[in-house]
Structure 1
Amino acid sequence: MQFKNFDIAAFLQDNWQKKPLFLKNPWTVWHNPLEPNELAGLAIEEGIESRLVIQSEGSWQLEHGPLPDNRFDTLGTSCWTLLVQAVDHYVPEVAALIEPFRFIPNWRIDDVMVSFAADQGGVGPHFDQYDVFLIQGSGKRRWQVGGHCDENSRLIPHDELRLLAEFEAEESFICEPGDILYIPPGISHDGVAMGADCMTYSIGFRAPSRSDLIGHWCDDLLAEMQDDDRYADPDIEVQSNPGEISPHAVDRLHAMITEKMGDREAFARWFGQYSSSPKYSEIDWQPDDKVQMPALRKRLQQGAALSRNPASRFSFIRQNAGPLLLFVDGETIACADDMVRFAESLCAQNTVTINETETDSENVLNLILELLNRGCLAFDPVD
């Protein structure tokens, strides 16, 4: 799917992380990529994150999946919503919805959550700490958009749902199939289904907090530190007051921390691994039958293309000196010479065709073989 009338440059300048934007069906052709019964089928599967939100007489009930396969028969025809996370991992047609939004870097894209709501169903007024594009798949939903919220905004008491106790709409939009509503971080919003068969696709973006970055970066550093790397002061002098922690000691102690944390190259390598780690690391995507090099060569010589696993994350960092660093699912692969163009192509597009130079490169072939057998790549089923 592609856009026909979406000004990306204007959007980034005027709206991205600034203000909401409603787009009236900007697609060249829109079709809903998933049926409600397919979404329900995912919600009953082990290992797939799903939730059921039910509103009844002013109260909110939340159930976590996997849901019993007969649960939907008991829900009635109004005031409930099914949400399934990371549907793009399992349905290629849903993963394709991300492609037009690749003007945002790969590492910022999280996943596609899909919701199905009965008439008047919704999840209540709330705000997110990340950007989201809300694509109406089928049916209608009325979105009301309010002002900016933060951690001090008052919430309705609930153990799991973060719903606003006070919500005042400033704008209202009726979303029909193909329409898109962009919501920046912190902006309150509330969507309610208008009629049956309301499906919405939420493309969410990751925004690591400062505390997350510091905490995970420090954890990584600590794992590599030696216990005998300790404070030393061979030039110590007698102080007038032994109770004082001298400026010289503070400087030396502070340097012990900042020298490690200030290593930009080490941080870049760590962040590439951290940001490309799989959303659900417990899922094993490796193929049942390992690909062997002779079979790989034959398929590539026949012109077979390679497709990325939608659940895999690809990104890279250029270093000032040294090889390009390719990050795939939390692993670092150093790429030099003939591997560089291939690595860049992998990160730029979901499907890659290998040229003649690359099929003659042992380094490129070994990389392809490794990624195929890890389940990060697969032969394009079209071929």
Structure 2
Amino acid sequence: MITDLQSLIAPNPLSSLADAIVEERRLHLHTARQTKFARLLPWPAFNALVTIERLQNGQVRTIRNGHDMPPAMLAARSGGSGVQELAPDTLQSLADKGLSLVINDIERLIPDIGALAAMIERHLRARASVNAYVSFRQDSAFGAHWDDHDVMVLQVHGRKRWFCYGQRDRYPIRGVTAFAKIGASEQPEWSAVLEPGDILYLPRGDIHRAQVEEGHSLHLTIGIAYPRGGDVVQWIGRRCLEEELFRQDISALPGREALATRQDDLRTALHRLVDTLDLEDFLAMVDRQRESLKALNLGLSDPLHSDIEIRPMLRRRPTLPEGATQIRHGTVTTPLTPVERAVLAMLLDRDASTLGALVAALPDLSEREVREAISSLARASIVLLSDTST
């Protein structure tokens, strides 16, 4: 079980990743997590996600050299009902010729990946979304490009060579920053092969491309998007609307003198709001607005055995003081009993635990109380239960 950032990158020290994030520099790590990465997305699980419905709604994309293939080219009519379905033989043939597949927001489809994304969000206080990329030949799904967020790559199956060309623009924004073209003969400033279990961290704006080294490759790309200064300005703008002065119309009809007076009043009020700016308050607001991922735990919450694994799906780490009777995540409010509050607080502190370990860590609570609390949190979909005994 990948419980926290340290267990994700083990045996490397957590400081190696933390320093790279703070210093905004590229980092390639070899980990001892090959088996755990492979369990995140086994090939049968990936294949089951590729359906004609997901191709048609865009969650699954088939791409070659940066161009999407129309889903109709991968569809066939079933002989009996005439219902449109995936043509797996056609897809297999095209994959052998260099077609790549992308599954967007796979954290919403695979619970273990969802729990991983939620854990990363709690540690970094940044949005984390996960895409899966599968390639079968050296042809790339995309050419050299940059992302307007940080990227963490987890190599799951196969080997893939990455080419990085550095940052041409600091803090680029899609739709605002012009893309710097990379010439066909331009040499990368860094290149390496990712093996199963490897992690590659790329800071925002680092131009990169990748190609399969041999055979096939499956990797997860975790997009990590932090709040930005522009978000702070929007937050201040929303706070402005709490005051009557900022809700008043601005008309030129009263004349220049009245307009100048209004201008001075607005400047004074804006200065006051800016001078009292507190980024901790801003981040706390961002945390409160982030909804948890939903976990489906049918058949797992009763009965619970001591080795069942429990992971929170909350994407932020809320404060749970003594006496708290509810937890708010986004637009959802979940009521909590005192026992549920204590169990959830311990679980968030640990990021993950077995039932037996939770019981041992909460000596003031009986085993029955902890079991009932976990069952209730599971039914509320804010924890994920994983039975690894079967």
TM-score range, shorter chain: 0.5 to 0.7
- Distance in structure 2 (CA, Å) of the matches to 1:240 and 1:116: 64
Q: Map Cα deviations across residues 215-252 of structure 1 (whole Å, 9 max, x no partner).
A: 47856986xx59899669xxxxxx99555326753356
Would you say 1:142 and 2:161 are equivalent positions? yes
Q: Tell whether the 8 Å contact from 2:20 to 2:27 is kept in structure 1 after alignment.
A: no
Q: Tell whether the 8 Å contact from 1:125 to 1:163 is kept in structure 2 after alignment.
A: no
Q: Aligned residue for 2:287?
A: 272
**Structure 1 residues 307 and 54, CA, compared in 2 at 3 Å: closer, same or farther?**
same
User: Residue 133 of structure 2 is aligned with which of 115, 136, 141?
Assistant: 115
**Structure 1 residues 262 and 40, CA, compared in 2 at 3 Å: closer, same or farther?**
same
Q: Tell whether the 8 Å contact from 1:32 to 1:138 is kept in structure 2 after alignment.
A: yes
By how many angstroms is 1:39 displaced? 1.9
Q: Tell whether the 8 Å contact from 2:148 to 2:173 is kept in structure 1 after alignment.
A: no
By how many angstroms is 1:75 displaced? 1.5
Q: Map Cα deviations across residues 31-62 of structure 1 (whole Å, 9 max, x no partner).
A: 6233445323313254782222212xxxx312
**Structure 1 residues 250 and 180, CA, compared in 2 at 3 Å: closer, same or farther?**
closer
SS of match in other structure, 1:316: coil
Q: Tell whether the 8 Å contact from 1:50 to 1:65 is kept in structure 2 after alignment.
A: no
Q: Aligned residue for 1:54?
A: 64
SS of match in other structure, 1:244: helix
SS of match in other structure, 1:194: strand
Q: Map Cα deviations across residues 295-350 of structure 1 (whole Å, 9 max, x no partner).
A: x7x846x65756246xx334234499995985546535687976654333232323
Structure number with the higher helix fraction is: 2
Q: Tell whether the 8 Å contact from 2:31 to 2:198 is kept in structure 1 after alignment.
A: yes
- Distance in structure 1 (CA, Å) of the matches to 2:240 and 2:298: 36
SS of match in other structure, 1:150: coil
**Structure 1 residues 211 and 368, CA, compared in 2 at 3 Å: closer, same or farther?**
farther
Q: Aligned residue for 2:182?
A: 166
Q: Tell whether the 8 Å contact from 1:142 to 1:173 is kept in structure 2 after alignment.
A: yes
Would you say 1:376 and 2:388 are equivalent positions? no
Q: Tell whether the 8 Å contact from 1:217 to 1:270 is kept in structure 2 after alignment.
A: no
Q: Aligned residue for 1:307?
A: 310
Would you say 1:6 and 2:48 are equivalent positions? no
**Structure 1 residues 240 and 18, CA, compared in 2 at 3 Å: closer, same or farther?**
closer
**Structure 1 residues 199 and 325, CA, compared in 2 at 3 Å: closer, same or farther?**
same
SS of match in other structure, 2:364: helix
**Structure 1 residues 226 and 332, CA, compared in 2 at 3 Å: closer, same or farther?**
farther
- Distance in structure 2 (CA, Å) of the matches to 1:299 and 1:49: 35
Q: Aligned residue for 2:47?
A: 40
Q: Tell whether the 8 Å contact from 2:144 to 2:209 is kept in structure 1 after alignment.
A: yes
Q: Tell whether the 8 Å contact from 1:110 to 1:204 is kept in structure 2 after alignment.
A: yes
Q: Map Cα deviations across residues 89-136 of structure 1 (whole Å, 9 max, x no partner).
A: 43355557669x859716335133221102113221111222222222
- Distance in structure 2 (CA, Å) of the matches to 1:228 and 1:5: 57
**Structure 1 residues 215 and 241, CA, compared in 2 at 3 Å: closer, same or farther?**
closer
- Distance in structure 1 (CA, Å) of the matches to 2:264 and 2:333: 39
Q: Aligned residue for 1:244?
A: 260
Q: Tell whether the 8 Å contact from 1:125 to 1:164 is kept in structure 2 after alignment.
A: no
Task: Give % identity.
Answer: 16
Q: Aligned residue for 1:343?
A: 344
SS of match in other structure, 1:307: strand
Whichever residue aligns with residue 178 of structure 1, its letter is G
- Distance in structure 2 (CA, Å) of the matches to 1:24 and 1:184: 18
By how many angstroms is 1:187 displaced? 0.8
**Structure 1 residues 79 and 138, CA, compared in 2 at 3 Å: closer, same or farther?**
same
- Distance in structure 2 (CA, Å) of the matches to 1:80 and 1:146: 25
By how many angstroms is 1:141 displaced? 1.3
User: Superposed, which structure 2 residues align to 1:17-166 within 5 Å?
Assistant: 17-27=23-33, 32-33=38-39, 34-44=41-51, 45-46=53-54, 49-55=59-65, 60-63=66-69, 68=75, 69-70=86-87, 72-92=91-111, 94=113, 105=123, 107-108=125-126, 110-122=128-140, 123-150=142-169, 165-166=181-182
**Structure 1 residues 250 and 335, CA, compared in 2 at 3 Å: closer, same or farther?**
same
- Distance in structure 1 (CA, Å) of the matches to 2:333 and 2:117: 24
- Distance in structure 2 (CA, Å) of the matches to 1:178 and 1:241: 68
Gaps of 5+ in 2: 76-85, 250-254
RMSD: 4.9
